[in-house]
């Protein structure tokens, strides 16, 4: 997932920046100055062109345009495939140069003219964060997925295991305009970790879905204790479904204490279920931005 886009003039002036995910407290001018200096030093000492910088939690990949007007930079998740990111990088570079080539030739240091590039970045470069719904069968994962009809992508792996995902539009959210939603049985993940490893690694959020009943909560906590140590980076939350069945459901605050996870009350059969779950996803993603 791409978290930040930077476009820097070859002389080190930051032309354009856009934070797509994560906190935006990083000084973009500092980052652009550091990268420009680092790349310049690498070339001067004979290191040649550096194609990417790999850190513990993220990668920085970059490319010059053919006329060396600018350096185009994507900061992305450590698990993203570089060849896929480079497709986005080339698309970014091509569109920016086509739009603003005359402005770059007749450079007047006015970077405000590039602000209208946001729409293109959000529509074509932005990669939505992934939310993974996990839980036992019958807890409401599919009911949540079915709140969003259409736009379903079904993937089959080599063993013909089915993976369903949907793209969810998130209105009224500042930076995160959409997310990708997937559901998987939690026991299947543990039994077939080699199959689901890439999905686990690509998820920003893993949401435990429970039916709020005692037996399911106990089993889910046991399975969660096995799942959590093998998850590399995702933030965990819980959705306490079936809250409309008061006689059989534990209150969300008790479930939250039981799992030691932020827990959201929910009923997939309520009239406003879709709006409610969108609000939950927005809150999860905004909270995770401050963590990741």
What's the CATH number where 168 sits? 3.40.50.300
Q: Which of 69, 100, 125 is the last residue of a domain?
A: 125
Q: End-to-end distance of the chain based on CA atoms, in angstroms?
A: 12
The verdict on 196 and 229 lying in the same domain is yes
Q: So what's the pLDDT on residue 141?
A: 93
The verdict on 74 and 136 lying in the same domain is no
The verdict on 99 and 27 lying in the same domain is yes
The verdict on 179 and 230 lying in the same domain is yes
The verdict on 174 and 262 lying in the same domain is yes
Between CA 146 and CA 162 the distance in angstroms is 16
Burial of 284 (0-12, 13-18, 19+ CB in 10 A): buried
**Domains identified in the chain, total number:** 2
The verdict on 270 and 144 lying in the same domain is yes
Write out the residue range of the structural domain in which residue 187 sits. Answer: 130-289
The verdict on 152 and 33 lying in the same domain is no
Between CA 277 and CA 170 the distance in angstroms is 10
Q: So what's the pLDDT on residue 239?
A: 96
The verdict on 83 and 186 lying in the same domain is no
Q: Which of 125, 141, 171 is the last residue of a domain?
A: 125
Q: So what's the pLDDT on residue 221?
A: 96
pTM: 0.69
The verdict on 148 and 261 lying in the same domain is yes
Positions in the chain whose pLDDT score sits under 70: 22-27, 39, 41-57, 79, 81, 151-163, 172-175, 289-292
Q: So what's the pLDDT on residue 291?
A: 47
Q: So what's the pLDDT on residue 55?
A: 67
The verdict on 28 and 162 lying in the same domain is no
Q: Which residues contact 262 (CB under 8 A, 6 or more apart)?
A: 237, 238, 256, 287
Q: Which of 84, 101, 125 is the last residue of a domain?
A: 125
């Amino acid at each position: 997932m791409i978290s930040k886009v930077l476009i820097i003039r070859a002389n080190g002036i930051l032309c354009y920046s856009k934070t797509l995910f994560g906190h935006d407290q990083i000084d973009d001018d500092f980052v652009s100055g550091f990268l420009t200096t680092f790349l310049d030093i690498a070339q001067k000492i004979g290191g040649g062109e550096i194609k990417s910088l790999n850190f513990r939690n993220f990668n920085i990949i970059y490319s010059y345009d053919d006329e060396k007007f600018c350096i185009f930079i994507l900061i992305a998740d450590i698990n993203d495939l570089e060849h896929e990111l480079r497709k986005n990088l080339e698309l970014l570079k091509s569109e920016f140069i086509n739009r603003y080539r005359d402005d770059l030739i007749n450079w007047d240091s006015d970077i405000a003219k590039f602000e209208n590039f946001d729409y293109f970045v959000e529509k074509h470069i932005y990669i939505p964060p992934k939310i993974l719904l996990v839980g036992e069968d019958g807890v409401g994962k599919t009911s949540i997925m079915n709140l969003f009809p259409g736009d379903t992508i079904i993937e089959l792996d080599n063993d013909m295991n089915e993976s369903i995902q949907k793209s969810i539009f998130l209105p009224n959210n500042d930076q995160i305009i959409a997310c990708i939603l997937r559901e998987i049985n939690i026991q299947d993940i543990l039994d077939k970790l080699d199959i689901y490893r890439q999905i686990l690694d690509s998820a920003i959020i893993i949401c435990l879905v429970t039916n709020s009943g005692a037996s399911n909560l106990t089993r889910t906590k046991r399975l969660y204790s096995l799942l959590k140590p093998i998850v590399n980076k995702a933030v965990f939350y819980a959705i306490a479904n079936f809250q409309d069945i008061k006689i059989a459901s534990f209150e969300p605050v008790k479930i939250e204490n039981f799992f030691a996870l932020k827990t959201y009350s929910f009923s997939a059969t309520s009239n406003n279920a879709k709006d409610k779950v969108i609000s939950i996803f927005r809150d999860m993603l905004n909270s995770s931005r401050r963590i990741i």
